[in-house]
Structure 1
C-alpha cells in the first residue's frame, strides 16, 4: 500500500511578478538582496547565489530584505547554511509579513531589523509532499520533526527565549508586531520609529 502525506493548504508557488533586471542590478550594486513570496527551492537558490557573490566581492554588510510569509524548510536550511558560511555580515530586514521557515533565515542573520508595520508569524513550516510506502512516509515525518526541532533551537538561540516557548509559539502560529518581535528578541531594531 502506498500512502501520500500532503501539507495543509495550497502548494507554494513562485511569485509571477519578477523584478526587472535593471532594478535587480541597482539593488545588487547597493549590496541588497530581496526575497519576496514563499520561500521555495528556486527562490532560496537565487538568494543564496546573490549572497555568495556579494560575500566574494567584499566584507561590507549585505542587506537581505524579507517579505516571505511561508516557506519550505529545506529551502530555508539551504539559505541558513549560506548565511552561516559568509564572511560579510547579513543584516536581515523584515519589510512585511515574514513567517514559517523564513523566521529561521531571520534568526541566522547577524543583525535583525523590521519596519514598524512588519509582522513576524511564528508558525510551523509546511511539510513537503511525500509519496511512498508507509515506512517512507514515517521516515519523512521523522525527518520533518527533526528539522522543526532544529528550527526551534535556532530561534531560541537567537532570541534567548526558552525552547519550550518557541515550540509553543510555533505550534500556535503566534503573530508578532515589530514591537513585540523587539521585546521577544527576534529583531534588534525597528526601522521607521521616531
Structure 2
C-alpha cells in the first residue's frame, strides 16, 4: 500500500508492504522451533518470559519443547516458577545446559525428567545451599532464618528426587559450593546425557 506525504510530489512516495518485518519473521521461526532460551540471572522478569513461552508452546501442540539454560542462578522462587511449569505442562520438556548451570539455573534444569536432561560438552554445574539477605529486628531475623531453613530442606528433597541421591547427601555435598563436570553430573544423577549435536536429542 502506498502512502503520500503531504506537500510531496510523486517521487517522494513511501512504499510499505504488508510483509512481516524481519524481526517478526525471526520470532515466528523461533516459536516454530519450540525452543526457549534462559540465560543470565534468574529473576521475576526472566521467569515470566520463560513461563509465557512454555505455556504458549504447550497450547500450540504436544510436541517436545527444548529449554536451553546458561545461568549463574538468582532468585529461588523465580526458578521454582519455571521448574514447576516445566512439570505442569503436557509436552515433554528437554532441558539443555550450556556454559554453566548454577543454583536457580540448576533448579530449572532438573524440572525435566532425568532422561530429558542434556548438556553440551563444556558445561559446568553448580549446586549450593539457598541463601537470603537477613536484616531487621531480632524477631524478623528469626523468621527469616526459619524460612531459609525451610527452603534448604525443600532444596535437599527436590534435588534428591531429581538425582536419586538422599536428602542427607545433598545437604552434605552442598554445604559449600558443589561444582560438577559433565562426567560428575552424569554420575551424580543430575544429567541424563552429554550431546554435541541436535541430532542426538531423543
Short-chain TM bin? 0.7 to 0.9
| Paired residue secondary structure (1:65) | strand
Q: Which of 161, 166, 186 in structure 1 is aligned with 2:190?
A: 186
Select 1:162's aligned residue among 150, 162, 166: 166
- Which protein shows a greater Rg? 2
Query: Corresponding residue for 1:78?
Result: 81
Paired position in structure 2 for 1:147: 151
Summarize the Cα distance change of 1:161–1:133 in structure 2 as closer, same or farther, 3 Å threshold.
same
Shift in CA distance, 86/23, structure 1 to aligned 2, threshold 3 Å? same
User: Which has the higher relative contact order, 1 or 2, with Cα contacts under 8 A spaced 6 or more apart?
Assistant: 1
Alignment of 1:110-125 (within 5 A): 110=113, 111-125=116-130
In 1, are the aligned partners of 2:160 and 2:167 still within 8 Å (CA)?
Answer: yes
* Structure 1 counterpart of 2:47: 44
Unmatched tracts of structure 2, length 5 or more:
1-22
TM-aligned CA distance change 1:134 to 1:23, over 3 Å: farther
Q: Report the Cα distance in structure 2 between the residues aligned to 1:117 and 1:23, rounded to whole angstroms.
A: 28
Q: Where in structure 1 are there 5+ consecutive unaligned residues? A: 1-19
Would you say how many aligned residue pairs link Structure 1 and Structure 2?
Answer: 174
Give the alignment's TM-score, normalised by structure 2. 0.79
What TM-score, normalized by structure 1, do the two folds share? 0.82
